Amino acid sequence: MEITEVRVKLINNKDDRLKAFCSITLDNEFVVRDIKIIEGTSGHFVAMPSRKMSDHCEKCGGKNHLRAKFCNNCGASLSENRAKKDFRGRVKLHADIAHPINSACRHKIQDKAIPAFKKEVEKSKQPGYKPIEMDEPDDDVPEIIS
């Protein structure tokens, strides 16, 4: 697997640890979007795209995220301890959509994404800087109509 392209979109919130979103293209054929670049205590790292975990209201069956105190559908009070815990005992609130299987792959992604992020930060300091559009449609991909 070769990472053939990295696109970085900087985030302007200076108080947040989230610094950018990036997308990577693998072998000029497959794109993974919404990889986060986060500022940690020992430098920047990547976090894979994820979704909020949810469950269903016991009363009406409506879908709610795990931190919700009341049902979005019927307003019923929801139990506070609905979230499952991971192997470390931490509450699992998000699930990865895509992720590397081993640390070598994670390092490969991080070794391309972090330098691209730093390069984009330097470009952003130039006059007339225009941020990259992350959701540009691919011209050579036919639109699927259902």
pLDDT at 136: 55
At 142, the amino acid letter reads: P
- Tokens in use for 43? 């430098």
- Topology of domain 1-49+97-130, per CATH? Arylsulfatase, C-terminal domain (3.30.1120)
What are the tens digits of pLDDT across the range 80-110? 888 777 788 887 888 889 999 999 999 999 9
Query: Looking at the DSSP assignment, which residues form a beta bridge with residue 130?
Result: none
Give the domain ranges of the chain: 1-49+97-130, 51-95
Judged on CB neighbours under 10 Å (0-12, 13-18, 19+), 46 is buried
Q: Within a 10 A sphere around the Cβ of 32, how many other Cβ atoms?
A: 18
Query: Looking at the DSSP assignment, which residues form a beta bridge with residue 37?
Result: 20, 46
Which runs of consecutive H residues, i.e. helices, occur in the chain? 103-124
What are the tens digits of pLDDT across the range 21-79? 999 999 999 999 999 999 999 999 999 999 888 899 989 999 998 888 999 999 999 98
**Contact (Cβ atoms closer than 8 angstroms) between residue 7 and residue 133:** no
**Contact (Cβ atoms closer than 8 angstroms) between residue 34 and residue 135:** no
- Does position 119 have pLDDT exceeding 80, yes or no? yes
Q: Within a 10 A sphere around the Cβ of 68, how many other Cβ atoms?
A: 16
